[in-house]
Structure 1
Amino acid sequence: MNAPLTNMQTRDVEALLHPYTNAAQHRQVGAHIIAEGKGIHVYDERGREFIEGMSGLWCAGLGFGDEELADAAAAQLRKLPYYHLFAGRSHEPAIELAEMIKDLAPGMARVIFQSSGSEANDSQVKLAWFYNNARGRPEKKKIISRRKGYHGVTVAAASMTGLPYNHLDWDLPIDRFLHAGTPHHWREAEAGESEADFSARLAHELEEMIEREGPETVAAFIAEPIMGAGGVIVPPEGYFEAIRPVLDKHDVLMIADEVITGFARTGEWFGSDRFNVRPTSMSMAKQLTGGYAPLSAVAINQDMAEVIEAHTGEIGTLGHGFTYGGHPVGCATGVAALRIYKERRILDHVRSVEGVFQAKLRSYLDHPLVGEARGVGLIGALELAPDASGQTAFEPGGKVGAKLSAELAERGVILRNVGDSLAFCPPMIITEAEIEALFAPLEDALNVTESWAKAEDLL
């Protein structure tokens, strides 16, 4: 067995300010350096092996060290290492990838590239505003997202994000951004309320919000098909089917944030396909390149495309874009990733192992620490709670989840606690045997965490 992390010397990295890290604490403990990756595993600088159960940050759908992806990036670096898409210039990788996305994404007509999911969602806001200005509706600008939704960290994207730590002391959210209810039946439903009734209530509450604000002021509703960083929250039965007529009635755009759920993760090409979202536009990133190069994209439907393109003719240009948006290396990597997904039948593979993966998740429902197990495809979560009622939570929140995550890391599995939810998002190449290995240390880690929680008077 490898030496435990608690006995390892970690490196002090003074020059870096690490995202989503307690910097004061980090100065005391140092950084854990990941040095290499192969398949579903990563290796730290001391040679310790870990199953990467989160695909990094929900990204590496094809795992680590894929030679075909690396070769595609290297070949493009040698051929055309950089160019832009400004002022009518273009390059073949961007054109090819846009066509591939258009062919896969339901109802989409045009694609515009960025470098990150945050930039994609920021672009969604600007495009919605531009679209409504082009239609002569300058007041129709408010964006509705949801509590616990995650849409990124730029000023607009973080304003859409419905998580406190993305707002605290950042002076966010800014004006024009609103947050509707979280579609988490286990936590939020009223006593005896079915999933379908809960969905209907959330749709009614959304309509009340739109009417209260004034439909003439509401531009768009943005939602992840599955809420990722909010805890891998799967929508209840009939949720998007109840939401969509409300948006149609009030002429509100439906933005699907597919940054995590895109490209086979849910057992369909997009989460929108799995949950009948019917989006007006879509944001995508992460598995667009398998995480091998920074790239994101926004796809818009024909109506938005026609209105926006016509308006650029009136005012002279589309005054939006990024220096690295559509970077040729990122696009070439994306072309290779989408081709690999098809050639290696990754979608079929996800469907074939989904039952095993989801059954393993749900097999821990009897453990005293586990309140709920949820997920679809190769994404899921265990929510830790004092009981299974959905009415109680650990106080303070997050400590139990962090302890379990640390215990699993000691046992060679990297997962991510989102508060007291333990998130799973393994590379989509994972085999049934590797799924068994991913879950193998969980029972022991849960038991140790349970004993610790009792000693800490948390349970």
Structure 2
Amino acid sequence: MTFLPNSIEARDIAYQMHPLVDLKNYEKTGALVIERGEGIYVFDNNGKRYIEGLAGLWSVAVGFGEKRLSDVAKAQMDKLPYYHIFSHKTHGPSVDLAEKLIQMAPVPMSKVHFTSSGSEANDLVVKMMWYRSNALGKPEKKKIIGRVKGYHGVTIAAGSITGLPRNHASFDLPLDRMRHVSCPDYAGTALPGESEIAFSRRMAGELEDLILAEGPDTVAAFFGEPVMASGGVYVPPEGYWQEIQAVLRKYEVMLVVDEVICGFGRTGEMFGCQTFGIEPDVMVLSKQISSSYLPLSAILMTEDFYGPIAEESARVGTFGHGYTASGHPVATAVGLENIRIIEERDLVGNCRRLSPLFLARLADLARHPRAKSSRGVGLIGALELKPFAEGGKAGAALQARAMEEGVIARAIGDTLCFCPPLIITAEQIETMFDAIARALDTISE
């Protein structure tokens, strides 16, 4: 494709390296230039409007162009645009948000540590897990278990827990301390006649077998998303989390729940932990914590997790870790206001009320000759397609056609994923899925 000289498209190709693309192909195709946003919509530089069916990157809960957030950001920029929380320093916005998160937590939590992304937060949890094991005099208890198709970020440690081969290829990942168990894809991998409960017990049995094979004294933690999102939206079957937690408690393995996508209302409760009855030792939050208006993430930890780390820092003389932007005053001020908006406008309730329509429309689409099945919970869902002769291409074809119809969604192999802003209305859900139905007809032809 040819772009006008000095156009934003041409300059983008010339100067900018992008994530999650075939970089050589990108040099030929260029990008869709998004110029502004309003509510659930974004607009490109030609004025075309799109329903943002993935809330940006699973994250813009309150929609685009929320003036309350820009006003708070400006006010904080004018008052204190930046300060750190290193070495006995603090400021109001980070304290206020930490207090709010502790009050909101679905289980008793002791402390909050702020970072700037989910990847960064999960990476730090691994680092602290190793620090804690040393503090407890268990230097061998360092292995981390993730799941196939799980997603926890792209740093060296978080990328190693992630269970997606494309994120490991040519990066020399995963690290040798990381292990993986199966994705709880009941619809795709259940044995003939196997009930959801039986499947969940089999998944827990696989986890127990791995812990025993590795040695319980060598396994520190299990990482899991309440709903596996970036791997293709896999909703846990009945009893899954109860069975998994029983195994973890039996062998004193800590549970780290990655709420980066599920948190702040996506599953119909404030946290995915509440939807599925999960009791974490550590929670990782990001994305909808600030609707991604500013980079922000948070690690919530129990006293059982925090206490040994604090003791070890006293022995060593310091907790030798820190990020320049941890607890950034503008980001934490925006995060707190974003949570106020979610609560005041009952966006969690909006998710609960609209979920039956959202999931019903997905199920209707699954009856299309080109489709195979659908799955979801709350306002996150996926439509799985029958593969083309060349597998893995159907999702990309539907994604491209959906954009022509004015909907942005996310293709993952032969699956198209949806995760719209929590402010979406029933009418807008109908419009979005009507467009997807037309796109399905087109790729079928």
Quote the offset at 1:450 in angstroms: 2.1
Alignment partner, residue 85 of structure 2: 85
**Secondary structure of the equivalent of 1:235?**
coil
Quote the offset at 1:10 in angstroms: 8.0
Question: What are the residue-to-residue correspondences of 1:42-441 with 2, within 5 Å?
Answer: 42-107=42-107, 108-385=109-386, 396-441=390-435
Quote the offset at 1:6 in angstroms: 12
| Partner Cα distance (2:363, 2:284) in 1 | 30
Give the conservation status (yes or no) of the 8 Å contact 2:241–2:277: yes
1:258-315 residue CA offsets vs partner (Å, 9 max, x unmatched): 0000001111111111011211101110000011000001110121122221221111
Quote the offset at 1:396 in angstroms: 3.6
| Partner Cα distance (1:141, 1:187) in 2 | 32
| Partner Cα distance (1:221, 1:140) in 2 | 12
Give the conservation status (yes or no) of the 8 Å contact 1:10–1:30: no
Q: Which amino acid aligns with 1:149?
A: G
Give the conservation status (yes or no) of the 8 Å contact 1:10–1:31: no
Q: What number of residue pairs does the alignment pair up?
A: 440
| Partner Cα distance (2:352, 2:62) in 1 | 15
| Partner Cα distance (2:320, 2:273) in 1 | 29
Alignment partner, residue 11 of structure 1: 9
Give the conservation status (yes or no) of the 8 Å contact 2:84–2:90: yes
| Partner Cα distance (1:6, 1:342) in 2 | 47
1:348-374 residue CA offsets vs partner (Å, 9 max, x unmatched): 111111111111111122112222211
**Secondary structure of the equivalent of 1:298?**
strand
Q: Which amino acid aligns with 1:408?
A: A
Quote the offset at 1:26 in angstroms: 1.1
Give the conservation status (yes or no) of the 8 Å contact 2:241–2:278: yes
| Partner Cα distance (2:357, 2:399) in 1 | 22
| CA 1:450–1:83: 2 relative to 1, 3 Å | same
Give the conservation status (yes or no) of the 8 Å contact 2:3–2:9: no
Give the conservation status (yes or no) of the 8 Å contact 2:241–2:276: yes
Q: Which amino acid aligns with 2:201?
A: A
Quote the offset at 1:432 in angstroms: 0.6
**Secondary structure of the equivalent of 2:87?**
helix
| CA 1:396–1:172: 2 relative to 1, 3 Å | farther
Give the conservation status (yes or no) of the 8 Å contact 1:196–1:239: yes
Quote the offset at 1:442 in angstroms: 1.4
| CA 1:325–1:395: 2 relative to 1, 3 Å | farther
Quote the offset at 1:397 in angstroms: 3.1
1:385-407 residue CA offsets vs partner (Å, 9 max, x unmatched): 25xxxxxxx55432110000000
- TM-score w.r.t. structure 1 length? 0.94
Give the conservation status (yes or no) of the 8 Å contact 2:366–2:384: no
Among the aligned pairs, what percent are the same residue? 48
Question: What are the residue-to-residue correspondences of 1:432-451 with 2, within 5 Å?
Answer: 432-451=426-445
Alignment partner, residue 26 of structure 1: 26
| Partner Cα distance (1:321, 1:192) in 2 | 51
1:65-117 residue CA offsets vs partner (Å, 9 max, x unmatched): 00001111111111110111110110110001011111111222210010000
Q: Which amino acid aligns with 1:24?
A: K
| CA 1:130–1:224: 2 relative to 1, 3 Å | same
Give the conservation status (yes or no) of the 8 Å contact 2:58–2:419: yes
**Secondary structure of the equivalent of 2:192?**
coil
Give the conservation status (yes or no) of the 8 Å contact 1:112–1:298: yes
Alignment partner, residue 389 of structure 1: none
| Partner Cα distance (1:315, 1:278) in 2 | 31
Q: Which amino acid aligns with 1:413?
A: V
> Where do 5+ consecutive residues of structure 2 fail to align?
none
Give the conservation status (yes or no) of the 8 Å contact 2:394–2:415: no
1:389-443 residue CA offsets vs partner (Å, 9 max, x unmatched): xxxxx55432110000000000100001111111000000001111111111111
| Partner Cα distance (1:416, 1:20) in 2 | 12
